[in-house]
Structure formats: C-alpha cells, structure tokens
Amino acid sequence: MRYHIVSLAAIFLALALGIVLGATKISSPILAGLQSDKTDLSSQNTQLSTDNTSLTARVGSDDKFAASVANLTVRGTLPTATVVLITTADADPGDRDAILSLLARSGAKVTAQIQLSVNFTDPSHANDIRTLAARVLPTGAKLPAVSQVGAVAGGLLASVLLTDAAGKTTSTAAQATSALSAFASAGFLQAAGTVVPGRSVVVLTGGAVTGGSEADRAAVIADMATQLKTAAGGVVVAGTPGSDSATGTVGVVRASTADSAVVSTVDDVDTPSGRLATVLALVEQNGGGVGRYGFAASAQAQIPTLGVG
C-alpha cells in the first residue's frame, strides 16, 4: 500500500512539475507578445486621440472663421432675389433663423415661409395629397403626370408659391390662399404670415429621417424639391449630419444623377460653414450652377467657389 501511495504521489508531483515548467516555457513568449501588442495599441490610441483633438480644434476654428466672415461674404450677393423658405417637420428652428438672417444680409427678400407637417411625408396620406392637389389646383396650372406624391405636391406648391423669370404667377392671390388653406386644414402644412410668391426656394430639413418608412419619407421631400426646380430659378436642399444617408433627403437627391444635376444640396446646415454654403449655393443656382456641399463623402466641396468680378 505504501508503495502504491508513494508511486501515485511521485506521478502527480511529476505531472505538476511538468505543468509548471511547460507553462513557464510557453507563457513567457506569449506574455511578451501580448505586452508588445498592448504597447503598440496604446501608442496607436494615443496618436488617434491626438489626431482627434487636433481635427476637432481645426473644425472649431473653421466654424469660428465661417461665422465671423459669413455676413460680409453674403452681403449683396442676392440683391433682387425673392425666396420661399420651406422647412420640414424635423428641421431645427435655430438653423431656420440663421438662414433667414444670412438671406437678409444677402439682400434677398423671403416672401413666404412654409412649414411642412409629419403627415406631408407619411405614405398613408399619399392618395389624400394627390386628390387634394387635383381639387385645389389653380385654373391653368398643371400637375406633373407622375406617380410620386412628392412631385405632385411640388407641382401644386410651384403653382401657388413661385413666379416665372418675368415675375408673373400662375395663380391669383385668392387661388393661392385657397390652395394653401386647404392643405393647412388637411394637416399637411402651415404658412407663416402673408404668403407672396418668390423666384427661388430653400428647403430646410433635418438629418436621417426616422419614424418608419424612412426612405419613402425622404423621397417625398426630394421629389418635391426637384419638381419645384422645374419652375424656380434656384432650389437648395439643406440638412444636418445624417441627411446625406440613404434615408435622408440630401442623400436621396445626391443618389439620383438627374436630381443632383439640377438641385444643390448642403449636408451640414447646423454649422456656420454649412449655413454660408446654403446661401452661396442659392447664389450659384441663380447663376445657372449646381453643387453638393458639406462634410459628407458625397459632397464635392465644403462651400461653393463663386467667381469674382
């Protein structure tokens, strides 16, 4: 019995000793490798943190510069322009007020402000909008022969909110008031104050659309803007970060070669540079140009480059 006990003890002792020696031999290189990886990752993290801090400071500096020169930059750039401002349900009132201020500095006159409701882009109300647009359409005006409800709504709004190059309107003041009142009563929009037709349009929106049927909702505003351009002298769609995505109005416009060839877009209207880009994009539109501006990968530049002289 003692012999068996001693033998078993010797076996377990040898096994334990082998495990200890083996673990030591193997773990040393592994631990050394892990320590090296940790050092490398720590170094990379430090560098990325430094780069992020530097870029954040640079963006902040750019915004301060844009804010300081915006009023001077836009001054007198739209001396005879008449502008209709259309805001979606998710647009930020602060962005709206900032754009209104810059437009005033540019010399433009905002002749109408239209606030669209959530129901305006709701797919369940598409047939209601089509039916209502056909019913209140001013005499002599025509709706586009398409199925997209945004284009149909854009056709109706163009007939009551826009003038041609000679300053003439499709509808009378009474017809325009009747049509807008009908859309307001149906819960699709609200007009702020007295509405007078204008020649150009700024569509102010938020970021990526939420609340279900996101892509369809974003497409309604994009189709509306493109249809408005068929009658307007210039149309700019401006949104906040996220608006350039597949479920954002800016992104939907940019994804279409036809739409982006006629409607200008800005994807960072929540920043001073984005607001400046919005007004300058309207100047560019009135001169026959078009562009994509902001910080998103789909943007061609941060702000438009306008000719001098």
Three-state DSSP at 293 gives: strand
Q: Which of 18-27, 70-79, 104-113 has the lowest mean pLDDT?
A: 18-27
What is the CA 253 to chain-centroid distance, rounded?
10
Q: Does the pLDDT of residue 61 top 70, yes or no? A: no
Helix ranges restricted to H, 75-119:
93-106
**Of 253, 233, 263, nearest in space to 296 by CA:** 253
Q: At a CB cut-off of 8 Å and minimum separation 6, what does 42 contact?
A: none
pLDDT reported for residue 132 = 97
**Residue 283 to residues 78, 162, 217, 218, 248: CA-CA distances in angstroms?**
7, 17, 28, 25, 24
Q: Give strand pairing partners of 190.
A: 115
With DSSP H G I counted as helix, E B as strand and the rest as coil, what are the percentages for the chain, rounded to 5? 55, 10, 30
**How does strand 200-204 pair with strand 292-293?**
unpaired
Which helix (H) or strand (E) segment holds residue 70: the answer is helix 2-74
Q: Mean pLDDT over residues 89-116, rounded? A: 97
pLDDT reported for residue 39 = 79
Three-state DSSP at 163 gives: strand
pLDDT reported for residue 309 = 40
**Of 2, 63, 131, nearest in space to 302 by CA:** 63
Q: At a CB cut-off of 8 Å and minimum separation 6, what does 110 contact?
A: 83, 84, 85, 100, 103, 104, 198
Q: Mean pLDDT over residues 109-131, rounded? A: 97
pLDDT reported for residue 211 = 80
Residue 8 or 135, more confident: 135
pLDDT reported for residue 44 = 78
pLDDT reported for residue 308 = 47
Q: What is the number of H-type helices and E-type strands within the chain? A: 9, 7
- Mean pLDDT computed over every residue of the chain: 89
Please state, in angstroms and rounded to a whole number, the distance separating the CA atoms of residues 113 and 193.
8
Mind listing the pLDDT tens digit for each residue in 177-216?
A: 999 999 999 999 999 989 999 999 999 999 999 888 999 9
Amino acid at 8: L
pLDDT reported for residue 117 = 97
Mind listing the pLDDT tens digit for each residue in 218-248?
A: 999 999 999 999 999 999 999 999 999 999 9
The Cβ of residue 78 has, within 10 Å, a number of other Cβ atoms equal to 24
Range 89-93 contact pairs with CB under 8 angstroms and sequence separation of 24 or more: 89/115, 89/116, 89/117, 89/118, 89/120, 89/121, 90/205, 90/206, 90/207, 90/209, 90/210, 91/204, 91/205, 91/206, 92/206, 92/240, 92/270
pLDDT above 90: percentage of residues in the chain: 72
Q: Mean pLDDT over residues 54-76, rounded? A: 73
**Residue 193 to residues 119, 179, 190: CA-CA distances in angstroms?**
21, 15, 10
Is there a contact between 110 and 103 (Cβ–Cβ < 8 Å)? yes
Mind listing the pLDDT tens digit for each residue in 35-44?
A: 777 777 777 7
Three-state DSSP at 138 gives: coil
pLDDT reported for residue 220 = 97
Phi-psi region of 288 (alpha: psi -120 to 50; beta: other; left: phi over 0): left
Please, which pLDDT band fits residue 49 given cuts at 50, 70 and 90? confident
Q: Mean pLDDT over residues 144-170, rounded? A: 95
Q: What's the Rg (C-alpha) of the chain?
A: 30
